[in-house]
Structures are given as structure tokens and as C-alpha cells.
Amino acid sequence: MHEYSIVASLIDRVEREAAAHRAARVHRLHLKIGELSGVEVDLLKTAFDTFRERTICAGAELTIDAVAPTWACPSCNQTLVRGAILRCDGCNRPARMIQGDEIILERIEMEAPDV
């Protein structure tokens, strides 16, 4: 269950950002998680609920957007349709994943003093 280590790293990163902006609290975290990232979203949410207590994220909401996998030809950049053979029809080259395996902390909504 690497979701727990992901959440530990996430909270650590958010605490560093909050400290850098002198934030009093964090209201919401926005993540983008690729469908092929290997992350179980429900386990990630459970881990977040467990580990956020007594951190800057104690009252924060976790918003997760799923990112569908997309494959493209590395030569001509033609995007392949979902479910297709992972080879370019035009170039006959193997396709490359261009999205769908990422874990991105996209945005932190926090309460910080005016600067």
C-alpha cells in the first residue's frame, strides 16, 4: 500500500508550501492522478483522512481528478484512440504514453496573510 507513503510525501510538501506562504491553514488540495499510475484512489483518500490529523491539512478537502491514459506516436505525434493497438498506423512505430500515469499536486488552497 504505497498510498500511505504518497500521502506522507504529499502532506510534507503541503506543509513546506504553507510555511513558505505563512499560511494558517489549508482548505483544499487538488490532485491529478493518472488511471495507470498504480494508485488506488479510495485507499489514497483513506490514507489522507488518517494522516492529515494534527497537520496543516487537518481540515482540508482532497479533490482528485482522474487522468485517462493517452498514447501517441513519438515520430508524428498522432494520438491513438483508446483500445487501439499501441502502434502508429502511419509510421508503424510503437506508441508512447503521454499522460495517464502521473500523480500531480495541481493546486493548494490555503489561508495566508496578504503579502
Q: The whole model's pTM is what?
A: 0.85
CB 55 within 8 A of CB 12: no
Tell me if 11 is assigned to some domain: yes
Tell me if 92 is assigned to some domain: no
* Structural domains counted in the chain: 1
Cβ neighbours of residue 110 closer than 8 Å, sequence gap 6 or more: 17, 18, 21, 23, 24, 25, 26, 27, 56
Query: In the prediction, which pLDDT does 115 show?
Result: 58
Query: In the prediction, which pLDDT does 82 show?
Result: 87
Tell me if 35 is assigned to some domain: yes
The domain containing residue 54 runs over which residues?
Answer: 3-69+103-111
Tell me if 65 is assigned to some domain: yes
Q: Chunk the chain into consecutive blocks of 10 residues (it has 115) and report each block's average pLDDT, rounded to whole numbers.
A: 91 96 95 97 96 95 97 93 90 94 97 78
Tell me if 28 is assigned to some domain: yes
Query: In the prediction, which pLDDT does 1 show?
Result: 57
CATH number of the domain encompassing residue 54: 3.30.2320.50
Distance CA 6, CA 86 (A): 30
